[in-house]
Amino acid sequence: MTSRHFCTYFDHNYLPRGMVMLESLHEYCPQAHVHVLCLSEECHTALAKLDYPHVTLNRLGELETADKELFAVKNTRSLIEYYFTITPCLPWHLLTVQGLSEITYLDADMLFFSSPEPLFNEAGDASVILTPHRFPDPLKHLEVYGLFNVSWLTFRNTESGRACLAWYRDACLAWCGDRLENGRFADQKYLDHFPGRFGSTHAIRHPGAGLAPWNMSDAQVEEGEGGFSTCGVPLVFYHAQGFKRILGPFYSSGLLEYGVGLESSGKRRVLAFYAKKYLLAEQTASRLLGKNTIVGVRGDGRRISPLSTAKMTIQEWYKKTLVVQYP
């Protein structure tokens, strides 16, 4: 079976999330090879100890040495904005310098539930594959931040694929602010231009791709003997944005700001399943890093605060953040 090349980036604080993504992707896509850009030396050391056979490790300094234009903007923007800027630079390096025929960027805070091959099959020969946000009507106002989500981006080594990725990289090098400004927002809003500017661009239609807090309200999630499904098709991956440990077995689901409830047993089970995988990864990461606890950092650099920094009780957090409990 033909290898599938993916890439992602994160630091040691985000290691448990990255492990969950890497291990679940390998489980359902054994032909996947993932190029991980380690944003800290501790991350590189820990992943080297794990020695995943399907993972190639790269240090941030190596990419910066190879991509001098990226390194040139490092001191001109905040850490989060610099991480946003890396998003197109990493796949560009892999596609053009290493000569891969195809590369798919993945956010690290994802969990795969089934094979991603149906997404590639659906896209056919398209040179670029995008993941729509699929905002429900009450959240349509969020489209100002982008119609598409950066979580899954595929670029193929074709004339159209290279042209699209080159334009995306140049745009992020020129401006990648963590704010809405002149129709731009970080590395995300640029994706809106792909379908109109470049041919052979495909927006994923599969409802099982990109289930996330912002589109869960309309999703019919069920668990059966064959695993999880949504809208009658297998769930491919869940994007666990905003998911974080509060204290002990309590985790914030990340659903609150999108007005999504946990009345559905299927949705609760998806989040509990992610919590289970996260807990196991966190325990392993803690041993590797020599730390008792991990305070997460998103792939984009934003700190995740533990309960000890919040002036509220467990019960208040439970109500306010739509808590998932595991075990």
Compute the 3-state secondary structure of the chain and give helix, strand, coil in percent, each to the nearest 5: 45, 25, 35
Which of residues 289 and 293 earns the better pLDDT score?
289
Query: What is the pTM assigned to this prediction?
Result: 0.91
> pLDDT at position 325, please?
75
d(CA 109, CA 31): 20
Is it the case that residue 311 has pLDDT exceeding 80?
no
* Nearest in space to 269 (alpha carbons), one of 204, 321, 326, 226: 326
Start-end ranges of CATH 3.90.550.10 in the chain?
4-209
The two tokens of residue 116 are: 């991603």
pLDDT band at residue 142 under the 50/70/90 scheme: very high
> pLDDT at position 305, please?
34
Exposed, middle or buried, 43 (CB in 10 Å: 0-12/13-18/19+)? buried
Amino acid at 15: L
pLDDT tens digits for range 252-267: 889 988 988 887 889 9
pLDDT band at residue 288 under the 50/70/90 scheme: very high
> pLDDT at position 318, please?
53
> pLDDT at position 306, please?
34
> pLDDT at position 300, please?
39
d(CA 254, CA 12): 21
CATH 3.20.20.70 fits 4-209, yes or no: no
d(CA 214, CA 148): 12
| Mean pLDDT lowest among 64-68, 246-250, 283-287, 305-309 | 305-309
pLDDT band at residue 1 under the 50/70/90 scheme: low
d(CA 262, CA 286): 30
> pLDDT at position 313, please?
59
pLDDT tens digits for range 32-68: 999 999 999 999 999 999 999 999 999 999 999 999 9
> Residue 309 has what DSSP assignment?
G
d(CA 75, CA 30): 39
Is it the case that residue 128 has pLDDT exceeding 60?
yes
pLDDT tens digits for range 76-122: 999 999 999 999 999 999 999 999 999 999 999 999 999 999 999 99
d(CA 167, CA 148): 17
The alpha carbon dihedral of 99, 105, 111, 117 has a sign of negative
